[in-house]
Amino acid sequence: MMDLLDVLFSAGLWAAVLRIATPLILGTLGELLCERAGILNLGIEGIMTFGAMIGWLAVYNGADLWTGMLVAALSGAAFGLLHSLLTVSFGLSQHVSGLGITLFASSLAYYLFRLLVPVVGIPPKILSFQPLNVPGLSDLPFIGPALFTQTAPTYVAMLLAVLMGWVIFRTPLGLAIRMTGETPHAAEAQGINPTAVRYGAVTVGSALMATGGAFLTLSAFDSFIPTMVQGRGWICIALVVFATWRPGRALIGALLFAFFDAFQIRLQTMLTGAIPYQLFLMMPYVLSIAALAATARRARVPQALMQPYRRGER
């Protein structure tokens, strides 16, 4: 019991929470933006994988870390455009198109990685983002090492959650996005172009997902390993429901989720041998399913989610 409290009050746990949460925050915000405009994006898992690979590859070939992030974002935007073409212009099944993009993006990532990076025993490494020293705050006892030893993208991700909350609920653009996700016909009657809004939201949202993937290879780890995304994209989709499509709650949900994940990793090392490690590894997925079951019924889904919009067709 004392051990558990020790874990809870160790700065390392809280530092890990923020680190684990970052890719989830970015992915969840990206998915949330797509869904607010009425498009489910199941491409997220593949887009995160591709972002992780291409961002790492750019840095490996001499680009600096932020350029790596940008390259990842651009690749995400490209997949977003493809998803928009299939689901918005053609009005095809968002489920199947998204899954197709996940299969395509992840297999393309593995293909290019194998092709462009020589096969060696130990995966090649890059110099990843280093912890940012926040003057004054980083030196505080406990709080400093717990909360202010993160890399820059983590802080950017949190600011983005606040920014997206503001855009969605406090700006005309946000109103246009929400209207398009609720009733595209009414949006069109107000002079909004639902097609353009959906294209924009899916493209920007997909770019965000890709940076979430790139965080894994440019900050959390320093090399690319196939399958490293490990279902984080699917967890983000669950987090969007858990957050009831609100960016602020998405931030809280991702942090809460990361807390359980960081805690179970520490529990796992404490209880080595007593309980099979696989049970701990299942926790994030089981937790996501439980969170969905608890919130899905109350959640107010954007009414036009998964409904293709064709002008003049009902």
Which residues form the interface with other proteins (CB under 8 A)? 42, 82, 86, 89-93, 95-97, 99-101, 103-104, 107-108, 110-111, 114-115, 230-231, 234-235, 237-238, 241, 276, 278-279, 281-282, 285-286, 288-289, 292-293, 296-297, 310
Min dist. Cβ of residue 218 to other proteins (A): 23
Closer residue to other proteins in complex, CB, 86/207: 86
Tell me how far, at minimum, the Cβ of 284 lies from other proteins, in Å.
8
Question: Where do the DSSP E strands lie in the chain?
Answer: none
Please say whether the beta carbons of 20 and 262 come within 8 A: yes
Nearer to other proteins, 42 or 176 (CB): 42
Contact 55, 72 (CB under 8 A): yes
With tokens 């869904």, the residue in question is 35
CB of 242 to other proteins, least distance (A): 11
Closer of 18 and 44 to other proteins (Cβ): 44
Q: Which is nearer to other proteins, 40 or 147 (CB)?
A: 40
Shortest reach from residue 161's CB to other proteins, in Å: 21
Asked if 30 and 205 touch (Cβ cutoff 8 Å), the reply is yes
DSSP string, 81-103: HHHHIIIIIS---HHHHHHHHHH
Contact between 101 and 82 under an 8 Å Cβ cutoff? The reply is: yes
- Nearer of residues 132 and 287 to other proteins, judged by Cβ: 287
Q: Which of 303, 293, 206 is nearest to 245 (CA)?
A: 303
- DSSP letter for each residue of 10-33: -HHHHHHHHHHHHHHHHHHHHHHH
Could you tell me the smallest distance in angstroms from the CB atom of residue 149 to other proteins? 30
